[in-house]
Structure 1
Amino acid sequence: MSALEPFGARLRRAMDERGPLCVGIDPHASLLLEWGLNDDVAGLERFSRTVVEAVADRVAVMKPQSAFFERFGSRGVAVLETVVREARAAGTLVVMDAKRGDIGSTMAGYAEAYLHKDAPLFSDALTVSPYLGYGSLAPAVALARENGAGLFVLALTSNPEGGEVQHALRADGRSVGATMLAHLAAENAGERPLGSFGAVVGATVGDLASYDLDVNGPLLAPGVGAQGATAADLPRVFGPALRNVVPNVSRGVLREGPDTVALRDAARRFADGIRDVVAGA
């Protein structure tokens, strides 16, 4: 497999053609039970592959949460490999939500697992944590560039605990979150039509007017749907950066299963609503 076109270019095209929606694949125990499935590997596989079958050919991005597969050990990871392979084969981009973060050779190992073109879990992009210092992500940045993949860096997450780190002020008066955004803007400088290195910015995080979200890269925005944010909230939160926002919806779509038609309809409703808001902004 040769190196792919850069992730940012592929994502921009997918968003323009299919709408800017990311559907999460979060097979936690309560959802498996809601679907009438056992909380075991068979239930995990049935759930995850049904979601892929229902929406992978019609949404821009799918985001499997690695933790819900890892909890079943090697058999769960084998299911995750299948899900990634089948989703990408259906034409959607896969963002692996693993939030990896470490230093040196360990970070390089994580990068090899998800961002090397020959890896069983190779994904179009990976979520990463920069809180050992942005420079600790260098091995992942390098391998992503080499293989046409991307990263989504935790910058302004909506969990209440995140503020003690992300809103903390450095000696220069700039917050840690703003510093991460500045690093990403530098990473994406000159890239067209969109850089491959984006930020995770929660759709429920509140007023972001004091932050420069123009990183010339995508903004992965969890929180739409069951967590309370709506498509109508996005212009207020993201302002001029709205066109580069990839809203993530998980439970808002997943709770409609196991009926594949209902899953497709839910994904279409969210995608249409987000597309209309972006077009009207």
Structure 2
Amino acid sequence: MAFFLPTLPIVSLLSGGVAGGVEAAITYPMEFAKTRVQLRNERGVPSPRNPFSIVAQVIRNEGFRALYKGCSTLIVGSIGKDAVRFLCFDTIKHQFADPETGTLTPIRNMLSGMATGVVASVTCVTPTERVKTALIDDARNEKRFRNPWHAIKLIVQESGPMGLYRGLAGTTLKQAGATAFRMGTYNILKDYEKKRHIPQTILTNFANGAVAGTVTTLATQPFDVVKTRSQSAHGASTSEAIKSVLKDNGIRGFWKGTVMRLGRTIVAGGILFTTAEAVAKVLNPLFGQTSIGTMSH
């Protein structure tokens, strides 16, 4: 357990948003490859199972820029998602803290993260993930979508506004679990280090974020696979997505794309928390805050 001072909402919002945008831009090719692996193969169109082979194939056939198809959508979504994550997590965990001691148990850390994930999924993540996944899927064959705005227009025309919320159940389960494990693990590690007076450096922050990312990926991969199937170009219900995974690959199919997502999550976790800490350290003095940063309480 650790005693903490509440971070100013504006610092949480800005540091989380900047960190999310930086992380999405740097790691997008891994996200692209992971999504391609998880989507259903077209009949008669063989596709490599190895995400690294997919990257090489895309570069060879479509050019390097193709790896960034849907990237702008993910960056916008990540800025919003992580701004909401950091803001809500700081706010919620303050509410979950012991009123007398200001402490937060590991379980309450995880519950704070879970509640934050639900909020992020509904407000930002599901619609932007839907557009990103549809763009990646569409680019394989039909190529109907010219850009993110055109994709949104066609999806709304064909399925109504709720078409942007395809995969809501899978996305919300993934986000609730991912945020609980990522934020919870990160804060538990920081509490452990503070008790033992381990210096909080960039390397420490990156390592903590990487460990949190590894735990998150292994625990939530099935939700990610179902989400991707639900959010393909033509969409599918959650039950249809689950059935398609079992039909195509059996139980093992729910961990498709784990290698690439794990690589991305480890790097992303390190970048996300390191960037957020750095931005918070710059912003805190500007707003008269003396605590060490958004996630370091």
Scaled by the length of structure 2, what TM-score is found?
0.25
Scaled by the length of structure 1, what TM-score is found?
0.26
Greater share of strand residues, 1 or 2?
1
Greater share of helix residues, 1 or 2?
2
Higher RCO, 1 vs 2 (CA within 8 Å, ≥6 residues apart): 2
